Amino acid sequence: MRYTRRSTLALLAGLAITPLAAVAQQEYPTRPITLVVPYGAGGTTDISARQMATMAEKILGQPIVVENQPGASGTNAMRSVASAEPDGYTLIATTSSPSFVTPALRDVGYDPQADFIPILNYSGPFHGVVVPANSPYDTLDALIEGAKSGAVTYGTAGAMGGAHLAFASVAKDTGAMLQHVPFDGASKATAAVLGGHVDAALVPAYRDLVQDGQLRLLGVLDGTNDPDFPDAPTLKEAGLAVEFPSIVGIMAPAGTDPAIIAKLESAFTEVASSDDFETFMTDLGQPVRIMSGKDLAATIQENLAAYREIAKDLGN
């Protein structure tokens, strides 16, 4: 008897995730679309994907259900979507790491180029090179010069992430002794640089701490400048040959009907370029960066190749 309440909750939750039965084939979409998010509920990728879904379902006329499949830095979700039915009813909102970083390092059970059709890119947090406010390094050059005479430690969100690989390549090209210290998530790496436990950190979400004067921004890892800090150079502007572009985009399994892809691209692009979405993302502290499916595919291809090179150099 005392289990009625809990069983009912369980039952309701069960019903909520049961996909509704398919109805006769009419013009796409005729039933709810599932948008898989490879991270847990409540993170920035999840929140922005949910907003995207809520706004796009008005255009597409069918509900878009966000399903979180966290784990293994996003590769679990990518693998499951790669093998999903290519009917346009299973999509994924994905990021750099499972698209071109992890696949460059080891077998992940899917091919990010052959198994997916990119639909569009709509965001991507800038990753900054930050040092504590009392650090002796004022510029990226000074940091690298400093690392030539003695080891400089830098923290990132995790081992073999894009930021780590980018700096590993910088270290190799310049001969600087940059010692990587991987943390469990970007916020721990940020805490470590604030506490002075590492000399620098390569992390997103640095805006408030830099504006507060607690951290100093030396540069960004992306291909373009952060509009909030136009003076912080990209690695390329600082004379280094790498970059770590951050993407947040939507992809469909390979084999999806091009007409469906076109319809989704136009709907999602319409949402991403709206003022409401821009306001929402600004509040979230995330940029809106729109790229067509074709450009996203090119970015992934280019970086996959670059990261494979870096990984090879690191001895993987």
Partner 1 sequence: MLVDAFLELLNLWVLVAALVGIVSGIIIGAIPGLGPTMAIALLIPVTFSMQPIPAIILLLGVYQGAIFGGSISAVLLNVPGTPSSAATAIDGFAMARRGEGGRALRFALYASVIGNIFSCLVLMALAEPLARFALDFGPAEMAMLMVFALLVIVLFGGGSKLDALIMVLVGACAGIVGLDPISGTPRFTFGSFAFENGFQLIPVLIGLFAMSEVLLQAFDREPLVGDAEVPPLKSSAVRFVELWRMRMTLFLSSLIGTFVGILPGIGSTVPAFMSYSLARSRSADPDAFGRGAPEGVAAPEAANNAVTGGALVPTLALGIPGDAVTAVILGAFMLHGLAPGPFLFRDHGLEVYAIFQALLLSSIPTVILGLLFFRVAIHVTRIQPRHLLPAITILAIFGAFSVNNSLFDVWVMLGAGVLGFLLRRANFPLPPLLIGLILAAPFEQSLRQALLTSGGGYGIFVGSPITIGLVALTVLSLAISLFFSLRKPRI
User: Which spans of this chain sit near partner 1 (rule: CB under 8 A)?
Assistant: 2-3, 5-7, 9-10, 13-14, 16-17, 40-43, 67-72, 75-76, 79, 105-106, 108-109, 151, 153, 158-160, 179-185, 187-188, 190-192, 194-198
Least distance CB 298 / partner 1 (angstroms): 27
Task: Name residue 28's amino acid.
Answer: Y
Closest separation between CB of residue 275 and partner 1, Å? 27
Of 84, 92, 98, give the one whose Cα is nearest residue 255: 84
| DSSP structural state of residue 20 | P
Cβ at position 106, least distance to partner 1 in Å? 7
DSSP one-letter string for 215-229 = EEEEEESSSS--TT-
Q: Which is nearer to partner 1, 198 or 304 (CB)?
A: 198
Q: Please, which residue, 16 or 21, has the CB nearer to partner 1? A: 16
How far is it, in rounded angstroms, from Cα 295 to Cα 164?
25
Phi, psi of 250 (to 5 degrees): -110, 135
Element (H, E) at 51: helix 44-60
Render the burial of 267-299: b for 16+ CB within 10 Å, e for the rest.
Answer: bbbebbeeeebeebbeeeebbbbbbebeebbeb
**Nearest approach, Cβ of 30 to partner 1 (angstroms)?**
24
- Quote the least distance from Cβ 248 to partner 1, whole Å: 17
Nearer to partner 1, 135 or 234 (CB): 135
**Closer CB to partner 1, 3 or 114, in the complex:** 3
**How far apart (Å, rounded) are the C-alpha atoms in residues 289 and 222?**
12
Is the Cβ of residue 23 or residue 114 nearer to partner 1 in the bound state?
A: 114
Residue 191 CA to residue 69 CA, distance in Å, equals: 27
Nearer to partner 1, 184 or 237 (CB): 184
> What is the Cα 77 distance to its own chain's centre?
13
CA dihedral 134, 140, 143, 148 (to 10 degrees): -170
Give the shortest CB-56-to-partner 1 separation in angstroms.
Answer: 21
* Cβ 156 to partner 1 shortest distance, Å: 11
CB nearer partner 1, residue 32 or residue 43? 43
